[in-house]
Amino acid sequence: MPLIHALLLGLTQGLSEFLPISSSGHLLLVPWLFGWKDFAGAGGKDLEKAFDVALHIGTVVALLAYFRRDLVPLAAAGLRSTRRRAVQTSEERLFWLLMLSAVPGVITGALLDSVITEKLGAEWLIGLMLAVFGVVLYVADRRPAQRPDAEFSTRDALLMGAAQAVALQPGVSRSGVTMSMARGLRFDRNATARLSFLMSIPITGGAVAYKVGKLFVLDGGIPDGFAGAFALGILTSGLSGFAAVAFLIKLLRTRTFTPFVAYRVVAGLAVVALAASSLR
């Protein structure tokens, strides 16, 4: 795998994981658009999955670094609550609500893993999802909303968790669809971004931990000749992911999601048209 490909895919993962434009969709579309065949040889799909896991390591680390001041007290609250078997503080409540929000995605991913991998990655479908859920984000963002994240409830956690499960379809965007649901539930933009990012930590972190364990225990680790590409991909996705989180949170203090909506619709329709033609 050329290092320039690893660099560009790491950058793609870091930016599109947190901006509401779909990382899974872009990671499939970029090699398709440029005709890259990095995983066409031995290993095939398994090697591609391993590289995808590596890129997610970078973005999980970026989230942990950015939200470290939130996560340390949240983790401590979760431990306290577990020891006493009761929820007594707002931090303990938020900790368990974030855990609850991961349940729909975990169940859906476990039940439909092979279907998602084998059936839902068609380029035209990814383009369609980019455009359709871009419109969904636009409509949700125009609703009047003033709820702070302190009002996050069990109902909100389940609804946003269900939306997060929908994002297993490439092109939907985990951050985009959870932010759409949050705006639909009338959370303000600051709360929307914070809750969406915090929600991603348990489900993404858990998935990465499971897949890294599987990679090294069952699949023999990183294949020969790919260590440099994996390392560069992780580093690039982590740095660009940290920048993307900081950028989006700052942007949403004064701006709407409209620029991302415009990008999604234009890019999605272009992908559908390209997939239907012989131009590529």
pLDDT tens digits, 152-189:
999 999 999 999 999 999 999 999 999 999 999 999 99
Q: Dihedrals φ, ψ of 147, to 5°?
A: -70, 135
Tell me which DSSP letter residue 85 carries: T
Residues 6+ apart with CB under 8 A from 165: 104, 105, 107, 108, 109
Give the model's pLDDT for residue 25.
93
pLDDT number for residue 134: 96
DSSP H/E element including 260? helix 258-276
Which residue positions in the chain have pLDDT lower than 70? 41-46, 218-220, 280
Residues linked to residue 147 through DSSP beta bridges, in sequence order? 187
Q: How far apart are CA 44 and CA 64, in angstroms?
A: 31
pLDDT (tens digit per residue) in 57-90 = 999 999 999 999 999 999 999 999 999 999 999 9
Rounded to the nearest 5 degrees, what angle is found at the Cα of 72, between the Cα atoms of 96 and 84? 45
Reported as half-sphere exposure (CB side, CA atoms, 13 A), residue 230 has a value of 18
Whole-angstrom distance, CA of residue 56 vs CA of residue 139: 29
Contact 251, 75 (CB under 8 A): no
Tally of helices (H runs) and strands (E runs) in the chain = 12, 0
Show the domain range for 20: 3-276
Q: What is the pLDDT of residue 96?
A: 96
CA distance 12 to 65: 19
Say if residues 196 and 17 touch (Cβ distance below 8 Å).
Answer: no
| Number of domains forming the structure of the chain | 1
Predicted local confidence at residue 41, as pLDDT: 63
pTM: 0.89
Supply the angle between the helices 227-251 and 3-18 in degrees, to the nearest 10.
30
> What's the confidence (pLDDT) of residue 120?
86
Instruction: Say which residue the tokens 């279907």 belong to.
Output: 115
Length of the chain: 280
Tokens 């759409």 sit at which residue?
Answer: 180
